[in-house]
Structure 1
Amino acid sequence: MMCTQKADLQHFDYHDLPDGNVQGNLQKIKQCSTEKQLLSLCSELGDWISDCGVPGIFTAKIKDIPTVFTQVVKHYIYFRTASVIQQFIEGMNTCGNLWHQVERNWIAFLPIFTSTSREMSLPSFKGLYKISWSPQGSNQREREEETMFGWEMFLIAIQEKATDVTFKDLLVFWTGMHSVPCLGFPGEPVIEFYEQEGPSRIPYASTCSLSLFLPRGVEEEEMNALLTRAIKESSGFGRV
C-alpha cells in the first residue's frame, strides 16, 4: 500500500495545489535532473524543503529527487493540515458526534462540504428572487411590467450569450456572492423599483438586504444598456 501511494505521489500534478509559490517550488524539484541543478536547488530551496520535513535534501543524490518530491507533496497534502483537520473533527463531534453523522451520510452532506455548484441557467436564476410589485391596475404597475419585459430580455441575452455579462456577474452585483450558498440565502432576493428623476440613474443593489433596484418604465434596449453599465462599472465591489 505504501509503495502504491509513493508511486502515485511521484506523478502528482502540483498544479492542483492552490499556492502558486509551492507550485513553482515543486516544479523546480521535479525538473531537477543533473548534479548542477541539484546544487542550485539546495542553494535556492534547501531550507524550504528541509522545513517541509525533508532535512536530507542537503545530502540527497539525483536518484533521491523523486522521493524528495513525494515527501514535499505529502507534507502539503497530509502532514501540514493533519492537526487542523483533527481539531476540526473533534470540534464537530462535540456537537452530538456530528462528524460521525457526516461520515455515515456523506452523500447528503456533500453539497455543504464541497463545491458542487454548476453554471447557472435561466430557469435556476429566475427561481432565486421575487418581485415587489405595485398594486395591480396602478400606473406604477404598468410601468413596472414594462421594465420587467426588458429585464426578461436581458436574462435571455445572458442565457444565449448575446452579452458579455453572465449570471454569475449579475449574482455578484446583486448579492455579493459568486454562487448560491449551499443552505440558500438568509432571505429571498427581491427586485424593487424606483422612479427616474433628472439624469438617468443606473440600476443599483443592496447586498445587505439582497435587493436589486430597477427603474420603472424602461424599454428593452435601454434596460440592457443600463444593467450592463451598472454591473461592469461595479466590478469587485461587495464580493463575498
Structure 2
Amino acid sequence: MVQQFKAGMNSCNLFWEKVATDWHEFLPIFTHTSVRLSRTVFRELFYVKWSAEGSNRREKEEDTMYQWECLLMSIQGKVLEGETTDITFEELLTFATGADAIPPLDFPHKCSIEFYDQEEGSCRLPFSSTCALVLYLPRGIAQEDELRDLLTFALKGSLGFGKV
C-alpha cells in the first residue's frame, strides 16, 4: 500500500520525490504539529464586520470589541502565568470554526466577527456559524466579565457536534 501511495503521488509531476527531498517543508502538512494558540495568532484569524462609522451600532460594536480584546489579553496573561482559564483560545476557535487547531493549509478564508442586538428583557448568547467561519457577538457589552460569562455559558453549555 505504501508503494501504491508513493506511485500515486509521483504520478503528479513526481510529487513524492519532491516531498522526500524537502521533507522538512512538508512536515506541517503531513503531521499534526499544533501548538497552543497565542493571542496574536488567534487575533490574526479574524476580521471584524463593522457597521457604518459614526453610527450608534458602530459605537456599541466598539464597546464589545474593547471587552473582547480585554478578554483575549486576560486569557493570554493566565496562559503565560501557567494558570487555568475558564475559556481557552482553542475552545474559542472550536466554537467559532469547529476546528480545535488551525488546519495545516489554514482556513479557506479569514474568520469574521459579526454582531447582533440584544432584545430588551432577554439574553441571547454568542453563537457561530462553523461553516461560514463567523462568530457572532452581542453589541454594547460594557464589562469584560459580562462577555466572559456569556461566552463561557455558550461554550460550556453547548453539546457540540454529534453529542446529542
With the length of structure 1 as denominator, give the TM-score of the two structures. Answer: 0.62
TM alignment of 1:208-227, pairs within 5 A: 208-219=131-142, 220-227=144-151
Root mean square deviation of aligned Cα: 1.6
How many residue pairs were aligned?
Answer: 156
Q: Which amino acid aligns with 2:103?
A: P
Paired residue secondary structure (1:212): strand
Alpha-carbon deviation of 1:238? 7.4
Contact 1:190 1:212 in 2 (8 A): yes
Distance 2:159 2:94 in 1: 9
Runs of 5+ consecutive residues of structure 1 not aligned to the other structure: 1-82
Aligned to 1:157: 74
Structure 1 or 2: more strand by fraction = 2
Greater relative contact order (Cα < 8 A, sep 6+): 2
Distance 2:101 2:25 in 1: 19
Aligned to 1:123: 40
Q: Are the structure 2 counterparts of residues 97 and 124 from structure 1 closer, same or farther at C-alpha, using a change threshold of 3 Å? A: same
Paired residue secondary structure (2:114): strand
With the length of structure 2 as denominator, give the TM-score of the two structures. Answer: 0.89
Alpha-carbon deviation of 1:123? 0.8
Aligned to 2:126: 203
Alpha-carbon deviation of 1:163? 2.7
Alpha-carbon deviation of 1:118? 1.0
Moved over 6 A (4+): none
Paired residue secondary structure (1:228): helix
Q: Which amino acid aligns with 2:18?
A: Q
1:114 aligns with 2:114: no
Distance 1:185 1:235 in 2: 24
Contact 1:140 1:216 in 2 (8 A): yes
Structure with higher Rg: it is: 1
Runs of 5+ consecutive residues of structure 2 not aligned to the other structure: 79-83
Distance 1:100 1:116 in 2: 22
Q: How much identity, in percent, do the aligned residues show?
A: 51
1:147 to 59, 64, 86: 64
Contact 1:143 1:217 in 2 (8 A): yes
Contact 1:192 1:211 in 2 (8 A): yes
